[in-house]
Amino acid sequence: MNVLILLALILFVLMKVVGGEKGTRSFTALFFNFGIILMTVILMTDQAINPIFITIIACTLISCVNLFYINRFNFKSVTAFVSTIITLVLLIMVIFIIVDRSKIQGFGIEEIEELLSFSFYLGIDFGKIAICTIIMGTIGAVTDTAISISSAMNEIYLHNPTLDRYHLFKSGMNVGKDILGTTTNTLFFAFIGGYLALIIWFKDLGYSFGEVVNSKVFSSEVISIFYTGAGAILIIPITAGLTAYSLVKYKKI
């Protein structure tokens, strides 16, 4: 516990020194998001409530915290929020098909041995839980990319208000291309860091490459990365297009 408090204090001091007031709000937002996620998990255990519906509401609230609380209610945060909602709607339309075809819901063989002493009759649809997990994992990358592009395009237009809609959109896409490379690499290394022990375990078990790829634990994480990466890619043209359209229409003198 002392280590956790010490690390939290170090994180708060660094965010305060580097980010100032916005850094303080960012630190506070971590606790707000944790509370939202905790409440979401609790509500998922209620069989009368659809977990996907709860997850969509939670993602909307997390987007509001990340965009409006940290960056205040302004033009760039509104644009990023609308772009995030549009992207989530498009992604949700696809995720049902992906989970149904891939059969990644539930626990993998590698996890069952540790859970044999527990009952699996929870009364929860694990297919829906798999969908919720992937959607929840996507919201962070999507909002981060959205606000980055919207903020950059606002600065570009502020210093060069003569830009037309096409060139402003092109500038936003160029910013998005630079962000895309780091975002996809971040997702990849997050997977490697989080599942390095699992990969080593696969090696010790003598799994072939085909067995590793077809493992439910491995496949579910890779699909989640691909899905999150698709969201991070899709948000770029949506945010660039919406921001360019809105800036030229509502702010051009």
Of 47 and 154, more confident: 154
Q: Which of 132, 117, 133 is nearest to 50 (CA)?
A: 132
Structure-block tokens of residue 202: 């696969």
Q: Which pLDDT score is estimated for 115?
A: 59
pLDDT at 238 > cutoff 90 = yes
Q: Which pLDDT score is estimated for 26?
A: 85
Structure-block tokens of residue 36: 């939202």
Q: Which of 140, 130, 135, 120 is nearest to 217 (CA)?
A: 130
pLDDT at 252 > cutoff 60 = no
Q: How many domains in the chain?
A: 1
Per-residue pLDDT of 136-177, as tens digits, reads 888 888 898 899 899 889 888 888 888 888 888 998 898 888
Domain presence at residue 88:
yes
- What CATH number is given to the structural domain containing 51? 1.20.1640
Domain presence at residue 91:
yes
Look-up: residue for tokens 């229409």? 249
DSSP secondary structure, 128-181, as one string: HHHHHHHHHHHHHHHHHHHHHHHHHHHHHHHH-TT--HHHHHHHHHHHHHHHHH
The top-scoring range by mean pLDDT among 77-81, 111-115, 226-230 is: 77-81
pLDDT at 236 > cutoff 80 = yes
Domain presence at residue 55:
yes
Phi, psi for 125 (deg, rounded to 5): -80, 110
- What's the one-letter identity of residue 135? I
Domain presence at residue 38:
yes
If you compute the radius of gyration of the chain from its CA atoms, what whole number of angstroms results?
Answer: 21
DSSP 200: H
Domain presence at residue 8:
no
Q: Which of 200, 44, 66, 213 is nearest to 133 (CA)?
A: 44
The CA distances from residue 232 to 5, 151, 156, in Å, are: 33, 16, 21
As a whole number, mean pLDDT of residues 103-107 equals 67
Confidence of residue 122 (pLDDT cuts 50, 70, 90): low
Of 104 and 154, more confident: 154
pLDDT at 121 > cutoff 70 = no
Q: Which pLDDT score is estimated for 114?
A: 60
Q: What does the angle CA 251 – CA 252 – CA 253 come to, to the nearest 5 degrees?
A: 110
Domain presence at residue 25:
no
Q: Which pLDDT score is estimated for 181?
A: 76
Confidence of residue 188 (pLDDT cuts 50, 70, 90): confident
Domain that holds residue 153: 34-109+122-251
Domain presence at residue 189:
yes
pLDDT at 83 > cutoff 70 = yes
As a whole number, mean pLDDT of residues 57-62 equals 91
Q: Which pLDDT score is estimated for 253?
A: 39
Domain presence at residue 156:
yes
